[in-house]
Chain A
Amino acid sequence: MRTHFKKALLLLLFIICSIPEMFSQASPEFSFSRNHVIIKGIDDSNKVPKIYRGHLLEEEITKTRTAILGKTIQEKGRIRFTPFVPFNWEQDYTIVYNRTYTYFHLKIPDDYQFISVKGVYPSADEVPANLLKWYVQFSKPINETAIYDHIHFLNRSGDTIPRAVLDFTNALISEDSKLLTVWIEPGRQKRDLIPNQELGPVFEEGKTYTLVISGIKDQAGVQMKDHFTKQFQVAKADRQQPDIHSWKITPPKRNTQLQLIIDCKESLDYGSTIESMQIVDSNNNLIEGNWQFSNKESTLSFNPLKKWNKESYTVFFNPKLEDLAGNNLDRLFDRKVGELSSSVVSEYSLNFKVQ
């Protein structure tokens, strides 16, 4: 009797000891982040999880349903899945592992910095009717997919202007993916092209329009919270080339690090201008420093990294520096036949003395 009792006790002990193991086999532990799914507490790491987009039921996972691409690393007692691109915030996912279905959804953090428009160029409230480009500065890198679908111009009645923006397949974006170039349909802005004849220019002199930027996502797939709008008035078309000789230079004082200021008399194109000047001293040494725009992109200022210690300096301007209508130092955007410039690049420079 005592032997039977002992045997029963041993069996009970064995069962109790086996429970955690049985439990662990039945319920592996999952943890999720944007970059990984980790499965712990498993005894057979040869089973590979499959992860799907969406909250899917068993019958929805058919042969044609594609699992998410990624790398699975199998280690002792755990599996780590790294998706090819990070998982999205606020998106449902389904993990199928060992014939069990597990779901996860990553909530966007409370302190998430949503993408926003920091500024647009031209920043002026009045632009020429033949304006060619806008630049949009975003707070963080953008999702470039079909980016131009998110940029519209409205007229005073609130109607969207058709065919206002030139739609490129690949976004024209700066290297840091934060400054977007938007071309106003050149076929409409350029005189006598068919779109110009049929639809007229995008913007009409004397009228008011609103630039609307909405629904743009950041690279993590999170959409901007608020629309960005900017109202502007349209002035007469600008058919004059920028002329650097009409610009006014205010030279800094010698042995100071004060700014050099150039009054350009008109708003210039942000993208083609801001990085298109160089200053050299009389010995042809390049002066290091930073260029900035102010006064609605009509004033250029240069902050040197060192003091001005020479008597005379020269500012060189890139011939492709443009005004708002795409007229550059070499040519008008819209010019008559026969005025095609030669391939020889002219040199544009202004001298100034420091006293």
Chain B
Amino acid sequence: MKTLLVIIISLLLSITSISANETSPLKVGFTAGNPEVTSINAITFGPEGILFIGDSKSAQVVAIDLSAHAKTDNSKVRIDKLDQQIADMLGAAIDQIQITDMVVNPENNNIYISVMHGSGNPLLLRVENNALKTVALDNVSFTKSEITDPVSNEAKDRRGRQLRRWAVADIKYTNGKVLLSGLSNKEFASTFRSIDFPFNKKQNYGSLEIYHAAHGKYETHAPIKTFLTADISGVTHIVAAYTCTPLVVFPMSDVKPGEHTKGRTIAELGSGNSPLDIVEVKSDNAHYLLISNSNRPLMRLDFDDLESFKASLTEPVTIKGAAVGVDYVNMPFVNVQQLDAYDKGFVMIQRESSGNLALKHGSSWWLSK
């Protein structure tokens, strides 16, 4: 009887140890080493602590396993003079550094900030006890995929120069797909692409067209500044904010490879304004979209309003500077440059009226009903 018990316990233990050592299907292709990231334009977290980096210079998307960073509490995060601190770390002047993105790993509350130095060197930072720590990118567990360029593939000149440069504007992960929106240095348009993850050879790209509500007579091409994917009335949608401020929704299923997809404009957020970041936040009884802007305060849109707004704005906005479409609330945060959801609240990088650039939390109080 004793022997049988020992055998059963041993078996159970061995099964447990196998499952503990088993690589998750998402990380099967990961290898240790240097992914040679040469620029960080945008970052986003997928599941299991995988950080996706949009690297325009090397025309690649890199997935890095950051799950080893321990769960932390950044609910009271506060770092003042963030730009000065980063400049100090690099021995550089403040005008030589640029914060390109800031994200929170929703699984362990770590905050990451991506930075580009004027020499073209990228840097990834992690917040630890209100201090900045570097995340080494030269020896990590990673996998990556080239971003194939539809334009340059069709026409590369004989000396092999890249004809068109495609700059990643935003990157998101949803249900086994990495989605990227990008800008071209040659055409005023937005290319949107979807890359399967785990990476394979398949890449789809298309362009997302909009009808500009402010634009009575003319259709328009415009670049997407920031976007996310969200469940609206049970269907996965892309919610995209354009440089000329309309907020447009596209059902994911409508976005077909190589085709123009026309979206439904649901809001104009005021002229003279450019959206900077858009995130989805959920608290106990509320579900919101938050949008930070270049020339408007932080905006809060209720998902209930978003779902009940079935129309598409096709008429010109006649009142100057007016915002129309889905209702939103202006929050008392201006000059919010970077934004992400944090637990039931949010974190942001804000240029305060004193000139101080602060990384700080936004209380969930603003998001409760």
| Chain A residues within 8 Å of B, Cβ to Cβ | 51-53, 65-69, 83-88, 91, 93, 132, 141, 143-146, 163, 166-170, 172-175, 177, 181, 183, 186-187, 190-195, 197-199, 217, 219-221, 269, 271-272, 275-276, 278, 286, 288-289, 291, 318, 320, 322, 326, 328, 333-337, 339-340, 343
Query: B33 at interface (Cβ–Cβ under 8 A)?
Result: no
Which residues on A sit within 8 Å (CB–CB) of B293? none
Specify the chain A residue showing the minimal Cβ separation from B56.
A170
Q: Within residues 138 to 187 of chain B, which ones have a CB less than 8 A from any CB in chain A?
A: 151, 154-155, 157-158, 161-163, 165, 167-169, 183-187
Q: Are B163 and A340 within 8 A (Cβ)?
A: no
Q: Are A272 and B215 within 8 A (Cβ)?
A: no
Q: Are A172 and B165 within 8 A (Cβ)?
A: yes
Q: Which of B195-203, B315-323, B346-354 contacts A (4 or more CB under 8 A)?
A: B315-323
Q: Are B209 and A340 within 8 A (Cβ)?
A: yes
Distance (Å) between the CB of A302 and the closest chain B CB? 11
Cβ contact of A289, chosen from B100, B158, B165, B167, cutoff 8 A? B158
Q: How far is the CA of A322 from the CA of B184 in the complex (A)?
A: 14
Q: Are B217 and A193 within 8 A (Cβ)?
A: no
Which residues on B sit within 8 Å (CB–CB) of A91? 91, 93
Q: Are B91 and A68 within 8 A (Cβ)?
A: yes
Give the secondary structure class of A's interface: loop
Q: Are B188 and A333 within 8 A (Cβ)?
A: yes
Specify the chain B residue showing the minimal Cβ separation from A187.
B244
Give the secondary structure class of B's interface: loop
Distance (Å) between the CB of B54 and the closest chain A CB? 10
Which residues on A sit within 8 Å (CB–CB) of B29? none
Specify the chain B residue showing the minimal Cβ separation from A163.
B272
What are 26 A-B pairs with beta-carbon distances under 8 A? Answer: A51-B91, A52-B88, A53-B88, A69-B90, A83-B90, A83-B91, A85-B121, A143-B119, A168-B167, A170-B41, A170-B183, A186-B188, A187-B244, A191-B218, A193-B220, A194-B271, A194-B317, A195-B244, A198-B272, A217-B118, A219-B120, A221-B92, A271-B185, A271-B186, A320-B151, A336-B217
Cβ contact of A174, chosen from B116, B165, B258, cutoff 8 A? B165
Distance (Å) between the CB of B359 and the closest chain A CB? 14
Query: B212 at interface (Cβ–Cβ under 8 A)?
Result: yes
Distance (Å) between the CB of A108 and the closest chain B CB? 14
Which residues on B sit within 8 Å (CB–CB) of A51? 91
- 6 tightest Cβ-Cβ pairs between the two chains A and B: A143-B118, A194-B271, A172-B185, A68-B91, A181-B185, A145-B98
Query: B43 at interface (Cβ–Cβ under 8 A)?
Result: no
Q: Are A187 and B91 within 8 A (Cβ)?
A: no
Q: Are B88 and A144 within 8 A (Cβ)?
A: no
Distance (Å) between the CB of A324 and the closest chain B CB? 13
Q: Are B321 and A198 within 8 A (Cβ)?
A: yes
Q: How far is the CA of A65 from the CA of B221 in the complex (A)?
A: 47
Q: Are A144 and B116 within 8 A (Cβ)?
A: yes
Which residues on B sit within 8 Å (CB–CB) of A322? 186-187
Q: Are B91 and A53 within 8 A (Cβ)?
A: yes
Known contacts A141-B120, A190-B220; is A88 also within 8 Å of B93 by CB?
Answer: yes
Which residues on A sit within 8 Å (CB–CB) of B151? 320
Q: Are B96 and A217 within 8 A (Cβ)?
A: yes
Which residues on B sit within 8 Å (CB–CB) of A67? 88-89
Q: Within residues 77 to 98 of chain B, which ones have a CB less than 8 A from any CB in chain A?
A: 85, 87-93, 95-98
Q: How far is the CA of A328 from the CA of B41 in the complex (A)?
A: 29
Q: Are A167 and B320 within 8 A (Cβ)?
A: no
Query: B305 at interface (Cβ–Cβ under 8 A)?
Result: no
Q: Are A172 and B167 within 8 A (Cβ)?
A: yes
Specify the chain B residue showing the minimal Cβ separation from A150.
B95
Q: How far is the CA of A65 from the CA of B154 in the complex (A)?
A: 51
Distance (Å) between the CB of A212 and the closest chain B CB? 18
Q: How far is the CA of A322 from the CA of B154 in the complex (A)?
A: 17
Q: Are A337 and B187 within 8 A (Cβ)?
A: no
Specify the chain A residue showing the minimal Cβ separation from B221.
A333
Query: B134 at interface (Cβ–Cβ under 8 A)?
Result: yes
Known contacts A175-B165, A186-B244, A192-B217; is A272 also within 8 Å of B186 by CB?
Answer: yes
Q: Are B88 and A343 within 8 A (Cβ)?
A: no
Specify the chain A residue showing the minimal Cβ separation from B218.
A334
Which residues on B sit within 8 Å (CB–CB) of A181? 185-186
Query: B37 at interface (Cβ–Cβ under 8 A)?
Result: no
Q: Are B89 and A170 within 8 A (Cβ)?
A: no
Which residues on A sit within 8 Å (CB–CB) of B312? none
Q: How far is the CA of A175 from the CA of B161 in the complex (A)?
A: 9
Specify the chain A residue showing the minimal Cβ separation from B101.
A169
Distance (Å) between the CB of B258 and the closest chain A CB? 6
Which residues on B sit within 8 Å (CB–CB) of A220? 119
Q: Are A168 and B214 within 8 A (Cβ)?
A: no
Specify the chain A residue showing the minimal Cβ separation from B123.
A84
Q: How far is the CA of A291 from the CA of B100 in the complex (A)?
A: 36
Distance (Å) between the CB of A252 and the closest chain B CB? 18
